């Protein structure tokens, strides 16, 4: 599963990090499609909520059938299932949102009878939720080969999905490199209250991992392998962290949700940069120590903490679409799914087209973070800091980056 299509991606461990966001997750279909066309298949997928669903569809199918599995899921839940053309798109989006709230989404979730919903007191033993996600469990069992979600077998793609333990409030990652996963772990990662019910695993109840952290970069930082030379990490954000001050209640609801679920990835990547700076500093300091000191057990223990790979990070932030409302995450219309998929494909394809300008990391650089999004004019722009850009070649200055080294 090693890619050789460009200098940036060659001979590396490829990690795909997928944010949660309901219907916004259609963007990730296009991202995966562009990566696949470039010959880049993930060795490890980390997802939250809908990112966990997409991650299971990718990791739970063989190379060559993953995109098809994503298409079967997304076009199977599309409501309306077809589009009548651009002139009808606003109407179709409205119908999709209303239909999802009133009737649910076939193959995904269905409404509970109102008399069984425990608003103030539970009489029927029903879980505290408006909808039932049993249809999603059936869909996952049909589209995902869960025997593949056991990365203790080296030929399988590793999958990690985040969920919140309701009792302790702690975030837990169910990781196929530690345990075999089944549909319950995926449902737990997407069990957003009060819409969806808690999911019980080994006697503990779990809710959507996005309640704690909607972008699971922290797990990559805690778990990334020590034996690899280079790690390429593709972080896909679905929510717009930037936006204008709202002037209406509808705009306020939209902005609130964007802020609530937009990424903590920036904070986590800052932590990564700080850790890598410290690592490189320790290595440089050790080079000036006498050999007798370097062999001391205490020094050897410290040096062993620095044995981590160099990391290339591409963070792609999906741009907000015109006319979005606070209900954009339940717009499962075919037209919107197609539009989001197309945006994801175009964005990642353009990022990868610049790969030839990404030189290998120098020995004194531990991590480079590249952030991209579309501006209001539709141009793909870099959000990274030009001043931090290292000189890697004649063209590197054209692509601002954040570089951390010694």
Burial of 206 (0-12, 13-18, 19+ CB in 10 A): buried
Could you tell me the CA-to-CA distances from 86 to 30, 89, 200 in Å, in that order? Answer: 20, 5, 43
Could you tell me the CA-to-CA distances from 405 to 302, 310, 392 in Å, in that order? Answer: 18, 10, 13
Please, which residues have CB within 8 angstroms of residue 333's CB and are 6 or more apart in sequence? 78, 79, 80, 83, 89, 92, 93, 95, 96
Please identify which of the residues 3, 43, 175, 208 carries the catalytic annotation: 208
Please, which residues have CB within 8 angstroms of residue 403's CB and are 6 or more apart in sequence? 365, 367, 368, 388, 389, 390
CA torsion through residues 29, 34, 38, 43, sign: negative
Q: Are 145 and 61 in contact (CB under 8 A)?
A: yes
Verify whether residue 49 is a known catalytic residue.
yes
Token digits for 155?
Answer: 């030929």
Strands (E), 135-281: 158-165, 171-175, 199-201, 204-208, 230-237
Q: How far apart are CA 272 and CA 391, in angstroms?
A: 21
Token digits for 42?
Answer: 């993930």
Burial of 167 (0-12, 13-18, 19+ CB in 10 A): exposed
Three-class secondary structure of residue 387 per DSSP: helix
Half-sphere exposure for 281 (CA within 13 Å, toward CB): 7
Q: How far apart are CA 275 and CA 224, in angstroms?
A: 13
Please identify which of the residues 3, 49, 160, 329 carries the catalytic annotation: 49
Strand 131-132 to strand 158-165: parallel, antiparallel, or no bridges (unpaired)? unpaired
To the nearest 10°, the Cα dihedral for 103, 258, 74, 160?
-120
Verify whether residue 175 is a known catalytic residue.
no
Written as one string, the DSSP assignment of 317-341 is: EPPPPTT--TTGGG---HHHHHHHH
Burial of 300 (0-12, 13-18, 19+ CB in 10 A): exposed
Any idea which residues carry the catalytic annotation?
49, 208
């Amino acid at each position: 599963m090693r890619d050789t299509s460009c200098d940036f991606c060659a001979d590396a461990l490829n990690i795909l990090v997928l944010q949660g966001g309901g219907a916004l997750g259609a963007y990730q279909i296009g991202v995966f499609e562009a990566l696949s066309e470039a010959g880049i298949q993930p060795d490890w997928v980390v997802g939250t909520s809908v990112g966990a669903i997409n991650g299971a569809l990718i990791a739970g199918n063989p190379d060559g059938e993953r995109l098809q599995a994503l298409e079967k899921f997304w076009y199977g839940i599309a409501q309306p299932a077809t589009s009548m053309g651009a002139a009808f798109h606003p109407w179709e989006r409205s119908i999709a949102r209303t239909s999802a709230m009133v009737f649910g989404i076939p193959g995904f979730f269905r409404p509970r009878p109102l008399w069984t919903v425990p608003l103030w007191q539970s009489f029927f033993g029903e879980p505290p939720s408006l909808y039932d996600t049993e249809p999603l469990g059936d869909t996952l069992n049909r589209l995902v080969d869960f025997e593949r979600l056991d990365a203790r077998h080296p030929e399988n793609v590793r999958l990690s999905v985040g969920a919140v333990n309701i009792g302790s409030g702690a975030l837990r990652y169910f990781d196929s490199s530690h345990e075999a996963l089944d549909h319950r772990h995926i449902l737990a990662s997407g069990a957003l209250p009060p819409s969806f019910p808690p999911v019980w695993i080994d006697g503990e109840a779990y809710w959507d991992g996005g309640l704690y952290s909607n972008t699971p970069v922290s797990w990559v930082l805690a778990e990334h392998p020590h034996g690899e030379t280079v790690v390429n990490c593709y972080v896909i954000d679905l929510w717009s962290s930037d936006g204008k001050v709202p002037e209406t209640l509808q705009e306020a609801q939209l902005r609130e949700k964007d802020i609530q679920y937009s990424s903590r990835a920036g904070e986590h990547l800052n932590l990564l940069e700080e850790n890598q700076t410290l690592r490189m500093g320790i290595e440089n300091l050790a080079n000036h120590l006498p050999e007798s000191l370097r062999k001391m057990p205490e020094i050897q223990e410290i040096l062993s903490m620095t044995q981590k790979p160099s990391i290339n990070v591409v963070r792609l932030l999906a741009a907000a679409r015109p006319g979005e409302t606070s209900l954009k995450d339940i717009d499962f219309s075919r037209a919107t799914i197609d539009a989001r998929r197309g945006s994801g494909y175009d964005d990642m394809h353009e990022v990868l087209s610049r790969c030839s300008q990404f030189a290998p990391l120098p020995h004194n650089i531990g991590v480079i973070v590249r952030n991209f999004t579309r501006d209001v004019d539709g141009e793909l722009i870099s959000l990274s800091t030009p001043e931090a850009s290292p000189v890697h070649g004649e063209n590197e200055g054209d692509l601002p980056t954040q570089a951390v080294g010694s």
